[in-house]
Amino acid sequence: MLRHYFQIAWRNLMKRKFYSLINIAGLATGMACCILIGLYLYHERSYDSYHKKRDRIYRVTQTFRSVEQGTMPAAPSPQEFQVWGCAPVGPALQADFPEIEKVVQFMSPASLLMQYGEKRFQQDSLLFIDSTVFDVFSWKMIQGDPKTALVAPNTIVLTKTLAQKFFGNDNPVGKVFRVDNEDDLLITGVMEDVPPNSHFTFTGLISLASVRKVAPEMFGWWGYVDFYTYLLLKENASVESIKAKSAEFVKRNNPKDKGYAIAFEKMTDAYLHSVAGRQPGPTGSLLNVYLFLCIAVFIMLIACINFMNLSTARSLERAKEVGVRKVLGVKPSSLMWQFLFESILLSLGAVVIALMLAHPGMALIEKLSGKEIAYVNFFSPLVFAGIVVFAVIVGMLAGIYPAIVLSGFRAITVLKGRFNPTGGNISFRKALVVFQFTLSIALIAGTIIVYNQLHFLNSHDLGFQKSQMLVLDFENDQGVRKNIEAIKKAIAGQPGVIAVAASRAVPGEFLPNAGTSIQTPEGQMTNKVPLIYEIDFDFIPTYRIPMVAGRSYSRAYLTDSAGAMVINEAAAKMYGYSNPADAVGKKFEQWGRKGTIIGVVKDFNFRSLHKPVEPLTLRYGYPWSLNRISVAIKGDNVSATLASLHKTWDKLAPQRPFLYHFLDDSFNDQYKADQHFGKLFTFFSCLAIIIACLGLLGLSTFMAQQRVKEIGVRKVLGSSVSGIVLLLSKDFIKLVLIAVVIAVPLCILAMNEWLNDFSYRISIGPLVFLEAGFITVSIAMITIAWQSVKAARVNPVQSLRNE
């Protein structure tokens, strides 16, 4: 029986090569898309799953809220917590809770100038971390002892990539780095690179004991924030028991801070499920995961609908075959299984092609997503079995309706030649066409919305000068700090330079919070925790940040460097001033400095447009706190300006390499994930349209063949080619227009959810759907017209000579 099924399937495949090719191509492309999306989503959901003790690892999230004296704060929401917190919480938790086996803490990533011999690099993503790191996380040491590698101060463990960067294939253990031209680090180990599916990464680990040696006091400050705290629970211990006692723990250990609270997050939830702020690395989007899952389902449905439409449309060709088989005694159920077998066979053939497409497609997905996705062996028993099951399910889904239709024909009707496709079958085919183009139009509209939002992010007025701003990075270099004014003056004198300023950070970079008391309209000193920029006299005018009240820092006022502060409009509102001018002249206290507010700047977007403008204080920064020099340059002859600056820098700061970047590039790095999402969304949307048009091409070709004699008669009676093309096209165009109407609310619902992640966003207007509808109708017209013109230009003598 199976051999007979194979023979029949092969004959039908060869008999109609064009339609078979369309069916296989559509299914193969749809399956390849599903496989690629599946691998991408598996990667997104696999973050931190390689840690052997992952189910016992939690991290501490903390909130630092301002509380009015004499009031009780409400329970904090999950969004009020941040992963970045204070140091003493870790040891205190381990001392109070026997359920905790190990605690590991690390500081914000550091960038250090590292030198060995003649090789010198500014190395980013270095972590100062506890020696317990290898007891908690499953990172493999290649050389060195994980138990002792980070116990002593001034020791470092390199990742394999960093070790090869400096030492090639030589063993670096025991060698010494010179760091920032003043300290030494002993290399005590080399570890494997951190897997790409980690919620935070690094290039090297430096012992936290190095920091304890020079600044032991900060490890006892509950108000000093610069640490990430992770816990390893003992086996069979429950985090719930710790959560239940966390409020008492805070009261016992930090009784003075009424706004302080802690919570706990499972490490495996960090990448996709965490809503806490100040993450140690980039986070993913669960909504994006669901959107791509929907796209995979949409694409597969479109491919299956193509199969259904072509199979039911061609039912007339196989009607007599069904009639003969039924007369010979074949049961309808056997016929149904035969047709199902044919579709499953076709699906199995398509999945082979899909796997061949998926292999090179994986490199493209990595490029579009900007992520390194682990290789999957499609021929491993488990994966191969899953792919075969997937192909069988797709074959059954695509073939079930055609099998029911074909096996249901009445033998006597079809053998008498009176058979015609029923109105119900035609209506169902039309409904399927509407459904697949509804999905396609929704994807096109979604792509337009994504790209409009990305364009908005890049073109939105941020409130400061972002273009033609060069940022020189000197990260903690004491030589530069001591001569900062002389270096700035020399840079300002170079051709092509407009203005120069110095600061601790620049827009788009990480900012600390600062406990700040400001006098309210009622005259009380109220403490809150705004963000802080440490800047020099020239920062505000160099970045062209408008003042809305008061004035900026000025060298003409001797007290500005010690007793003045500038805030933004959001900070003024936070302290109760709806009119920014009313905040000018009010007293402040911040980090040991007292004075008066001298000015209020207009709110500017110093962070990503995902976030609203937050309260900000712009504090005068002494040279020892500065890390960046910002240089506003002219747009013409940039290469000559850079060469001149490089020469000047080497002369004034020979101990420091000339490292620079353009601010617009670094600021836009915040939108990398959104840009990668847009590229992936567009890629799969285009494939969905291509698959839908394949089906439309096949269906229009078949319909033209079915109406070849009608076309001949119409041509004999004087119909033009354009009239016949319109006749063959109008029914399909009507279906596409109906799909546009249905797609609008679906797309608005889905894309509004995506846009809600941005504090600054576009609105979804009717133009988006007019564009999507026009694109879809145009593509459909081109697809249909090609075959319609071909049919209309056939000589009517050829189509009517048998009449």
Which residue carries 């993913």 as its tokens? 284
Which residue carries 């009240």 as its tokens? 549
Q: Which pLDDT does position 75 carry in this prediction?
A: 85
Q: Which pLDDT does position 266 carry in this prediction?
A: 97
- pLDDT, averaged in runs of 10, over the chain (803 residues): 57 64 84 92 94 97 82 84 96 96 96 92 96 97 96 98 95 95 94 95 97 94 93 95 95 91 97 94 92 91 81 59 59 71 83 89 90 79 86 83 65 54 62 82 91 94 96 92 96 96 95 91 92 96 98 96 97 96 97 96 96 96 95 94 96 94 94 93 88 73 62 68 70 81 89 93 90 82 68 59 53
Q: Which residues pair with 88 in a beta bridge?
A: none
Q: Which residues pair with 156 in a beta bridge?
A: 187, 206
Q: Which pLDDT does position 332 carry in this prediction?
A: 65
Q: Exposure of 544 by Cβ count < 10 A (0-12 exposed, 13-18 middle, 19+ buried)? A: middle
Q: Yes or no: say if 593 and 621 are a contact pair by the CB < 8 Å rule.
A: no
Instruction: Read off φ and ψ for residue 321, nearest 5 degrees.
Output: -60, -45
The domain ranges of the chain are: 1-47+287-421, 54-269, 475-658
Residues whose CB falls within 8 Å of the CB of residue 179, separated by 6 or more in sequence, listed in order: 112, 113, 114, 115, 185
Residues whose CB falls within 8 Å of the CB of residue 654, separated by 6 or more in sequence, listed in order: none
Strands 155-159 and 176-179: unpaired
In whole angstroms, give the CA distance from residue 457 to residue 245: 44
pTM, rounded to two decimals: 0.86
Q: Which pLDDT does position 728 carry in this prediction?
A: 65
In whole angstroms, give the CA distance from residue 491 to residue 495: 9
CA atoms within 13 A on the CB side of 39: 25
For residue 600, the 8-state DSSP code is E
Instruction: Read off φ and ψ for residue 254, nearest 5 degrees.
Output: -140, 60
Which residue carries 């119409």 as its tokens? 714
Q: At what angle do helices 672-706 and 17-45 cross, to 10 degrees?
A: 160
CB atoms within 10 A of CB 423: 8
- For the chain, give percent helix, strand, coil, nearest 5: 50, 15, 30
